[in-house]
Structure 1
């Protein structure tokens, strides 16, 4: 947390310097504006050539000041965003607030593990991880959490995350620019749609006219200035009016190029800044270099080309200024030429847009995992094997405060399935989620919350939280049976890591016991690995029948001085103590 405070101090100092420069430039701009006004007034009175020269010099000086002013405004925005990023990290580490998007829109109750493991929603894994500023970054992060990588992809991701974690200054700069894009799903999807559609068509005749008319118009103006021929005025007016008619004829087609976009040129410009940062950065890891190389194809630098598109969209935006549009199109057919340039850009580079934006999104996801690694120095990268070994030493839930977190060790090498018992509130469900979330993270190359781990990144299948559905006319029990059927079907294809929490709660105790034992035996026949939590102690006796596959583990509770005490430590054997009846008696629910 101290490094974030140091960065805030550094950025505040840099911001103060930028503000000082900005104030000077603003003052100089005001002086030049007043000087130009005074000079113009003096020229009307005295009409001296020296005044004209001085005015031109002031205008020439004013133009670079505008650029410097814009640059300083951007630097101010960037430093303010960097300060905000570090303030958010301090707020997050102090547990006062989680100021990051929670990904509620990605909740899928039918997914094999995301809903049960709280991957999305308030206080979810996604919310704790998410440091993405663009829509494509947020979307990719959600997709990655639902993915399963190959061993090589996992190792590449581990290497990339480890490299990014060490480069906090550069990481935060990327994050700051991404946050300032104010990107939206609508603009992203419209940009992808635009690259394949909205092609501006012009006949060869109008292409010729768009070149000929401005040249002819200025030729006539030049002739008039030399000869004062009144016939030139008529022809100039005719050509000017013709150009305006051409503009109105193509107006709707021109507007269609930017229809539905909200400040798209500004968003695309920020994309170019991120791409430029990637292009200029040196990397050691394989994955980061792959991402960098994807930005340069056929000697085309993505940042420059995306920035060119931003400028073209910005120039096209000026068509909404009616007076200005009539003036510049009357003389130059300006917006016709801009649309033609956009068409040329689209023809040459539109096929790269999705790759370039995917690269931004991919880098943002790596930054999110790197940031988690930076905030949790005790997290580790697990060893990856192909031998169906799954072993955790000191595993904990990554979202629980490290001061409150209780860790445990578990090994699935000799006994593939664990039957887990424990009284209410003893920690069974939390432990299942601990196993599930860490398996998911390990399977995508992320650091995990453990002291040491060696795993095979199997697909994770979970049945912990089922809901009845009025819309689908499904009971809780039928919903759970469908999930169990899905798990068994998946196990027919591949060996998976399975987590079941008190299954078949929607039926009577005899049915539940018979059904639970039947499910366990089916899991054994499919070579499944994982943990089944239950309150039914009779189910634990199944381990006698399958001693080489099943093992009993438990969480115990102690009653000391009329208080329940939980240590949340995993123990061998079957749970012996009960807490439900004790708690109900203490609350005067039963006698």
Structure 2
């Protein structure tokens, strides 16, 4: 937390210093403008050339000051954003807020584990991890949490995350640039769709006219000025109108290129700045260098090309600026030249746009995992294997505050499947989610909430939180049966990590017991690894029939001074204590 406070204070000091410069420069600009006006006024009133030269000098100085002012304004925005980034981290680590997008729009109750394990939504894994700012970054992070990478890719991610965890200033700089973009799925889709729609090249006759007509017009105008011959003047006027006619013909093609892309040039410029940040950084991890190498297409870096595209869009969009557009196009066919350069750029580089944007998304995703690692230095990167060996030392729930977190040793190597018992509120469901979330983190290349871990990354299948579906006329029980059917089908094709919490709650006790026993037998037959939580202690007896596969574990509760006391410590054996009747009596329900 101290590092974020130091960074916040440093950026705040820089912001305040830039603000003072910004205000001072604003006053100087105003004085220069007033001085220039006075100079021009004095020249026209008193015909003093000295006043004219002073006025021209001040006018030129004003243009320089505008550029300096704009640069200071930009740096000020960046610093203010960096202050906010560190304030967010401080609020997060102090558990006063989780000021990050939660991915609620990605909740899918039908997914194999995302809904059950709270991968998305308020206080979800996504929200705790998310340090992305672009739409593609959020999408890539979500995709990573919903997929299982091969071991080689996980190793590559681990190396990248370890390296980026040490680059806190660079990570925050990338995030700050992203936050300055008003990015959205709509803006992303518009840009990608534009890149895939190859417009037709400009006709040769228009290309010839673009160069010849302005040159002849300018020559005719100079001739008129020099000779006062009205023939030259008439020629210039005709060519001026002809150029406007040419632009009217090309206007449809111009509109096709910029349709639905209004205001996107600033977003593209920000993409370019992020790509520049990536391209300029030196990396050691192969994964990071592979991403960086995608920013070279043989004709220059991605950042340079994206900045050119941004400028071209901005210039082409200026066709809507009325009088100025008429003047510049009537003389120079300005927007026709911009259109041609845009079409040339599109032909040469448009295929790379999705690739370059994907790089931004991948970097933001890795930055998110790196931030998670940086905030939790005690978390371990798991040692991977392909021998179905899974064990954790001091495993805890990564989203719980450290002071509230209870950690346990878990080993699935001797007994691959666990039958978990315990009274209500003893921690069974939290423990199952602890297992699931840490398996997801391990499969993404992130550190896990354990002091040591050996993991064979597997597909995770969960049945914990289901609901009635009125729209599908589907009961809770039938929804659960469908989920269990999906789990069995998946187990028939590959080994999986399975977590089941008190299944078949929608039926009577005998039916529930026989069904649960049948499911456990299927788990054994399919070589599943994982755990099932149950309140039915008779179910636990099946472990005697499969001593090499099944093991009983439990969470206990004690009654001390007429109060329930939970220690959330995983124990061997079957739960012996009960709490429901005691609690109901204590609350005078029975």
Q: TM-score, normalised by structure 2?
A: 0.97
CA offsets per residue over residues 343-396 of structure 1, 9 Å max, x none? 111111111111111111111111111111111122111111111110011100
Deviations, residues 273-317 of structure 1 (Å, cap 9, x unaligned): 111111111111111111111111215211111111111111122
Q: 1:7 is matched with which residue?
A: 7
Task: Look up the match of 2:435.
Answer: 435
Alignment-derived partner of residue 374 in structure 1: 374
Q: How do residues 505-584 of structure 1 correspond to structure 2 at under 5 angstroms?
A: 505-584=505-584
Does the residue aligned with 1:22 lie in a helix, a strand or coil? helix
Native 8 Å contact 2:198 2:347 kept in 1: no
Give the whole-Å Cα distance in 2 for the aligned partners of 1:221 and 1:182: 45
Measured after TM superposition, the shift of residue 24 of structure 1 is 3.5
Whether the 8 Å CA contact 1:187–1:262 is kept in 2: the answer is: no
Q: How does 1:257-406 map to 2 (within 5 A)?
A: 257-406=257-406
The DSSP-based 3-state class of the residue aligned with 1:477 is helix
Residue equivalent to 1:225: 225
Q: Are residue 192 (structure 1) and residue 165 (structure 2) matched?
A: no
Provide the rounded CA distance (Å) in 1 between the counterparts of 2:204 and 2:360: 39
1:40 Cα shift?
Answer: 2.0
Distance 2:352 2:499 in 1: 42
Matched, 1:148 2:148: yes
1:462–1:499 contact (8 Å) kept in structure 2: yes
SS at match of 1:25: helix
- 2:126 corresponds to 1:133: no
Report the 3-state secondary structure (helix = DSSP H, G, I; strand = E; otherwise coil) of the residue aligned with 2:418.
strand
Q: Which one is further off, 201-210 or 42-51?
A: 42-51
> 2:418 corresponds to which residue?
418
Provide the rounded CA distance (Å) in 2 between the counterparts of 1:268 and 1:278. 15
Alpha-carbon distance change, 97 to 62 in structure 1, aligned in 2, over 3 angstroms: same
Q: For the Cα contact (< 8 Å) 2:390–2:411, is it kept in 1?
A: yes
CA shift, 1:52, in A, is 4.1
Count matched residues.
Answer: 590
Tell me how large the CA RMSD over aligned residues is: 1.5
How many angstroms does 1:270 deviate by?
A: 1.1
Deviations 1:404-431 (A, max 9, x none): 0111111000101000011111100000
Task: Give distance in 1, aligned partners of 2:270 and 2:511.
Answer: 60
Unaligned runs of 5+ in 1: none
Q: Is the Cα contact below 8 Å between 2:262 and 2:317 reproduced in 1?
A: no
5+ unaligned residues in a row in structure 2: which ranges?
Answer: none
Structure-2 separation of matches of 1:429 and 1:439: 15
Q: Equivalent residue of 1:392, what SS?
A: strand
1:195 Cα deviation (Å)? 0.7
Alignment partner of 1:551: what SS? strand
Is contact 1:419–1:534 with CA below 8 Å preserved after alignment?
yes
Residues 200 and 254, structure 1, Cα contact 8 Å, conserved in 2: no
- More displaced stretch, 566-575 vs 64-73: 64-73
Secondary structure of 1:296's aligned partner:
coil
Contact 2:198 2:346 in 1 (8 A): no
Task: Look up the match of 2:70.
Answer: 70
Q: C-alpha separation between the residues in 1 aligned to 2:50 and 2:151?
A: 76
Say which is worse superposed, 577-586 or 77-86, in terms of deviation. Answer: 577-586
